[in-house]
Amino acid sequence: MARWRGNELFNYETDNNGKRTGRIEYNPIFSKTAQGGNHRLEDSKWLTTNKADLHMCPVRVLTLLLSKRTPNITCERLFLTVNPYWKKSSSSAWYKNTPIGRNEINKWTRCATEEIGIDTKKVKITNHSTRSTVVSHLVKAGISEHQLIKITGHKNTTSLKPYLKVDQEHHKKIVDHMQGRTATQNAIVTSGTFSSEGARLESEETANEIVYNNCTFQVTSCNNVNF
């Protein structure tokens, strides 16, 4: 078990024989998204082994990172300043006994983004961009907002809104889905008999409420969609 910043928890899960199962429990008690108290979160997060690609395995990466914390390191922060001489000899430590600067993780993220071909002069990239990307992909996969807050650690769905991004492809799928549903609903509504035009309009507006990927849309006509 390892604790960072006083109480942030990382714990290797073991079976009845004490053997590691390949999962690491993570409970970000004092993280930015879990502020407001000293109590441990009810739902822990879990890092699981990526058996399909060990090079992209979070359990392997975290285990390697922790193994590079030499006995002389007493700093309680998880991310430490890189030792510029770590390649000089096999005995050189990877890290210094000091935490990284506040902007260093943003720099890492930006450099990694540039290496895969994204122009960071045109697109603003920060360490929060990774969280936004993950949340957006989970939304497109059909994960509800209430499930997302358990994954991200946010207190409620409102604080999750800034991370929700809808790209053009996903937006088109939503519109196509709504248009298909609207055409069916309009056929049902217009086939009924109403005592007045006002009743017809009220029924049409009520029928055209669509829920898609945990989002509710009010459709007043096929060509007018209110988000």
Find the mean pLDDT for residues 116-134.
Answer: 82
Nearest to 25 by CA among 5, 11, 36, 35: 11
Most confident range, picked from 18-32, 62-76, 136-150: 62-76
pLDDT, tens only, 71-109: 888 888 888 898 888 877 766 788 889 988 878 888 888
The CA distance from 151 to 131, in Å, is 11
Q: What is the pLDDT of residue 52?
A: 92
Q: Is 157 left (phi over 0), alpha (psi -120 to 50) or beta?
A: alpha
pLDDT, tens only, 47-68: 899 989 988 899 999 899 888 8
Residue 212 confidence class, pLDDT cut points 50, 70, 90: low
User: Residue 210: helix, strand or coil by DSSP?
Assistant: strand
For residue 199, pLDDT over 70 is answered with no
Q: Evaluate if pTM is beyond 0.75.
A: no
Percent of the chain past pLDDT 90, that is, above it, reads 6
What does the DSSP 8-state code read for residue 93?
Answer: -
Cβ-based neighbours of 48, under 8 Å, separated by 6 or more: 22, 23, 58, 59
Nearest to 21 by CA among 11, 8, 7: 11
Most confident range, picked from 30-34, 42-46, 197-201, 206-210: 42-46
The CA distance from 167 to 175, in Å, is 12
Please check whether residue 33 is in contact with residue 153, taking contact to mean a CB–CB distance below 8 angstroms: yes
